[in-house]
Every structure is written in structure tokens, then in C-alpha cells.
A and B are shown apart, each in its own frame.
Chain A
Amino acid sequence: MNIPRIAVCVKPVPDPAYYDKITVDRTTKRLQRGQAPTIMNELDRYALEKALQLKETLQAEITVFSMAPSNSRLVLLEALALGSDKVVLLNDIDFAGADTLATAYTLARGITHTGTFDIVLMGSESSDGGTEQVAAQLGEMLGIPRFTHVTSVSLDSQSGRFDITAKHDTGVNRYRVQGPVLCGVTREIATPRLPHLRNIRHCIEKPLITLDSKAIEADPQRIGDKGSPTKAGAIYNRESTRQGIMLQGTPDGITDRILTEMRRLGVLCQA
């Protein structure tokens, strides 16, 4: 096997620490990110870390793919600073409004257009979508074995075989497969590092290639809003009417009042 080639899919998402600043546009039903900064989807960071570890042991080459608006540049530069060799940004106004199916299609086109890879790594889900669909769909579209909830991956570079562990509700499955494969990973896969500040200075010199729908020869009917069968239904604001009550006094007194209140609310039967 030559130098293993790794693709990592990275999604820029709003920083969960700023979720209170995010709203949903009632007419377009899309997220309004407001002042929330854009960061790398957390699980994708884990996927990238795994790729970096494979690179360290096997001299692998890492290409990051991201379908994202152009204001996500910092997230992609960060991927380069962390040690990726190249970033491919899939960016086109026509990609906007993509659901998971159109996203998977676009990523598949971008990856196929760019080259062949021994493994595609990505987070099992995104923190702002949480559908867990893209990894499975992308694997199908690329026509390669795909695994989700992957907790460990190792590659025998002689044979090109991968040992993969994936968890499910009641246990784990272990697989030994010939590459190429796709893995949607979970937090167990690795512990992400921070970029070394020295590499930040040079990340800008690494290749960051932007491809639009024409460049990847995408079918216009399968991208963006047009290619997305998912339609947002009604949108609700979760109303929170919870109110804290401070109880003060002796422990016994407080216990009595809690019990009384719980009975009043029907949580406990009347004594």
C-alpha cells in the first residue's frame, strides 16, 4: 500500500456556547446564526484527530472536505493548522438549503472529483443537526463499506485492512475490512488536540481549494434546496414557564413543604 490517503469531512457549526443567540427565521425556517461564532463540529474534530494520529504513525495524507459558506474560512484554516495537508471547500450559492441527502451527494461529488481515498472519517453526527444521516448516506453514495458510531479504527498499512469497532445500544461490533471504508466516529475515537500556535502562522500557505457545483459536475437537481426532500414543518418556540422557588427554614420544615407542594401538583397521592 502506498501512503494512505485520508479524507475527513468537517462541518462548520455555530458554537454551542452561544446557542442562546441563535434564532430560527419563521419564513425560511433556517437558522439565523446571529453573533454565534462558527466552530468546527465537535465530533468532526474527533474524526480529524484520528486522522492526525494515523498520519503520525503511517505518514498518511489528509484532505479535509467541507460544504460550507465562505465565511467558514477560519474553521478550515484551523484544520490546516492542526496538520491536514489540504482543504477542499465546496462552496456555491446553489448548495444553500441542503438537507442531509443533498449534503451527502455534494460531499460525494467533491470527494470523487478530488481523488481516491483509503478511508473517509467524519463525526457520527453534527451538533447543530444531530440527524446522524450524512455518514451513512455518504458511504452509500461512494459505494464503500460504511460504519457509524465508530469508537476505534486501526489500519494495517501492509494489507490495507482496517480493524474497526463500532458501538450500538447493547454492545460493540468488531469488523475487519479491506479499504476503502467510511467511518462516522464518536468521542471514544481519540482526544482532540489544540493546534500548536506555531502552525497557525503557516496554515495560510497550505492549499485551500474552493470547488463549486460545476467543478464537481454535480447534478443541479440533487444539490441545495432543490435536491432536498426534507421540508421543515411548523416551528415552535419552546416556552419555558419554569420558576424556581427558594425554600428556607429547617430541613424538616422544608421537607414538609416540598411534600405538600408535590401533593398539590398531583405528583404524589394525597396522604
Chain B
Amino acid sequence: MEYRLSPQQEMVRDTARKFAREVCEPIAAEIDKSHRFPRETFDKMTECGITAVGFPVAYGGTGLDKLAQVLVTEEIARKCAATAAIFSIHQGTAWTIHLFGTEDQKQKYLRPLLTGGVIGAFSLTEPNAGSDASNVQTIAVEEEDCYVLNGTKCFCSNGGQAGIFVILAMTNPELKTRGISAFIVEKGTPGLSIGKTEDKMGICASDTSELIIKDLRVPKENLLGKLNRGFNHALASIDGSRITVAAAQALGIAEEALDLSVQYVKDRVQFGKPIAVQQGLQWYIADMKTRIEAARSLTYRAAALVDQGEPYATLGAMAKYFASETAVYVTNRAIQLHGGYGFMRDYPLERMYRDAKITEIYEGTSEIQKLVISREVIGKIQ
């Protein structure tokens, strides 16, 4: 079993690392405090091809692979989890269009998303449709040349900043999950407005908004994928995007928290010695590192499966579940190792702890991942 990154993957990682250090890290605390969306960072990402990583060259992508997307998300999340969320959710939207779009749709929408500085957003969740995403109540009624959408979406990441949206709506309420369809909607289309922007505990610099949809006329050619197959399309897309949006993001946060902790226990002297000599604390470090390496193996392998064209949904769910819980565990321990200083806003750890929590929730909660995994392992119960 070969288990190493290719030189190109290493270079992608190193480039993303440099980007994260030079562009993301210096403003991470500021944008967290002020809840400011770092639009300028997104533009810089577009400039050096980060937004396009892992997509086919024919649509403006950089080529490369899913693993490259993971490496980029991980490196950015190390320095600023909110930026990693903005980037990876944007890419998740593009990924959906890439998977299910027609050639015309890909030419029209992927290029601006990947190379034009246009931000993407993906909107499935509604007030009454969270984990039970099938309970979508936004309605799409077919007319001669368009679908007319009405409803309210919530928790839409990048919502207030996006130029291109993928929105899910009921095209046939009687068919339940088999009556949902996906639509590509451009910002500024009459009938689409941004409602409340959420005030969050973590990833504060990312934008999470409500979408108010009122008589929104979506041209027929903007139906994404097959009519009434939107629910499956959405789930299939999230199967892939959770590997980056949640697993890789969690991995990056955890790694940075560990690095900071290792440095700190060596520097901090109590009782006349560095606290690193305390075996109890050494064992924390060992636990943190072990979980991180396990999370990395799952995450990289899930991405490699995508690249090899193998089924990846179950392993992706495991990676997402394990990496996100690892991030919460590791950041929590890291604060403990830093004592009171870890609790202070002067240090980045409390932000990382707040940021880590989202990875257990979005792209399907931990509980939903366990549902996905156990269904696959146990199979259909007679």
C-alpha cells in the first residue's frame, strides 16, 4: 500500500500553507471579533487558483484532485477556520454543479465560481428541514418557461455574499423525497432576497444567512440535474463535500491546536520545570496526536476513494464524524493545557474551540453520520 502524497500534492499543500500564513493568519482574530466576511481573502484565493483546486481544467479548474482540496482546506483551517468554511462551502456548491450540471450549465456557472471571484452557496436547510432534509417546504411550481419558487431557507453559508446559489425545492410535494429538485439561481434574480444574517458562536467571519424566496422565477434551463431527483443529488453532493467542509476543516483546526499546545507545554514553567515533564499532560498530547493521525488517515483515504472513483460515502461519513469530534476534543484539551491563558481572547485557542464545534453539526450532524455508517454496516433490517 502506497501511502504518500505526490510531489504535486505536496506543492499544493505548501502553497496553501504559505497562503494561510501570509493571508489568513494575520486577520483571523480581527475578522472573528468583528464578524467581518473577508472578501479580500476570497479574491486572493481566486488569484492563485485556490478556489479552482480539484476541478477540471476545461471549466477553469486547476486539475489535481479531491485530496488537493482536502489539503488546501486543512491548511487554511489551521490558521482561520472561518475562511476554510467559506472556501470549502463555496467549492461544495461548485462540486454540485460539476456533478449534475449540463455542459451548458458548467460552462456558464463553473467558470465564474472557479476563476471569476463569484462566491457559491448551497441551500437545502429550512426551519423545519434540518437533519430531516426531506421535509423541504419551499415549493417550485412549473410554468411555461420557468419554475416559480416560494419559501424560506435558513442557515445558508455564504448566503449574503454569494453570486450563484444552488437551491432545493419541492417540485412534487406528494412524492416527498422523490419530489424535490435542485435549481441554480443567480444573485439579483427578482424574488430572491437575503433575510437575517445569523450571529454565531464560531466561524464568525463566515456568513450564514436566511434566504427569502418570493415568486422567484427560475428559468427552466436552470434546473440542476434531473427533475424530482434533487434530494438524491443533494445527498450525493454532501457525501463528497463533507470530506472537505467538515473533515478536512476539523483536521486543520486540531493540528494547529496540537502544535500550539506542544510549544506551550515546553515553554511554560510551573513548579520549577516545564509543564511538559508532567506525565499526565504528556498523555494528553499522546491522545491528541493519535486521534489526529487517525482522523487524517480516514480523511485522506476518503478523498483518495473519490479520486479513484470508488464508493466513498461511508468512509466519508466516518472521516467527518471522527475528525470533527477529534477537533472538539483536541481544542478542548489544548485550552486545558494552556490553563487560564487558553481561556483568554488574546490566544487563538478559544476561537479554535468555538470554531471546531460547527464541524460536528453542519454537513450532517455526528448523529446523522452514525446513521449513515450503521445503515451501511448493518444493512437493511428485515
Contact = CB atoms under 8 A, between A and B. Distances in A.
A208 to B, nearest CB: 11
B7 A197 contact: no
A160 B12 CA distance: 37
A238 interface: no
A73 interface: yes
A206 interface: no
Given A201-B62, A201-B63, A201-B64, A196 B11 contact: no
Interface residues of A, number: 18
Contacts of A74: 7, 10-11, 14
A149 B19 CA distance: 27
Nearest to B19: A194
Contact of B62 (A17, A193, A197): A197
Contact of B14 (A73, A78, A198, A203): A78
Interface of B: 7-8, 10-12, 14-15, 18-19, 21, 47-50, 52-53, 57, 61-64, 68
Contact of A198 (B10, B19, B52): B52
A93 interface: no
A198 B62 contact: yes
Given A194-B15, A198-B63, A200-B62, A73 B49 contact: no
Interface string A192-213: 0111111011011000000000
A151 B63 CA distance: 37
A98 interface: no
Task: Determine the main DSSP class of B at the interface with A.
Answer: helix
A64 interface: no
Contacts of A81: 11
B8 A195 contact: no
Nearest to A38: B14
Contacts of A37: 14
Task: Determine the main DSSP class of A at the interface with B.
Answer: helix
Interface string A61-84: 000000000000110011001000
Given A74-B14, A196-B62, 18 more contacts: A74-B7, A74-B10, A77-B11, A78-B15, A193-B48, A195-B11, A195-B48, A196-B48, A196-B49, A197-B50, A197-B52, A197-B62, A198-B49, A198-B61, A198-B62, A200-B15, A200-B64, A204-B7
Contacts of B53: 197
Contacts of A78: 11, 14-15
A169 B53 CA distance: 45
Contacts of B62: 196-198, 200-201
B57 A77 contact: no
A239 B64 CA distance: 47
Interface string A15-57: 0010000000000000000000101000000000000000000
Instruction: Enumerate the 8 nearest inter-chain pairs by beta-carbon distance, A residue then B residue, closest first.
Output: A197-B49, A197-B62, A198-B62, A196-B49, A201-B63, A194-B48, A200-B11, A198-B49
Contacts of A203: 8, 11
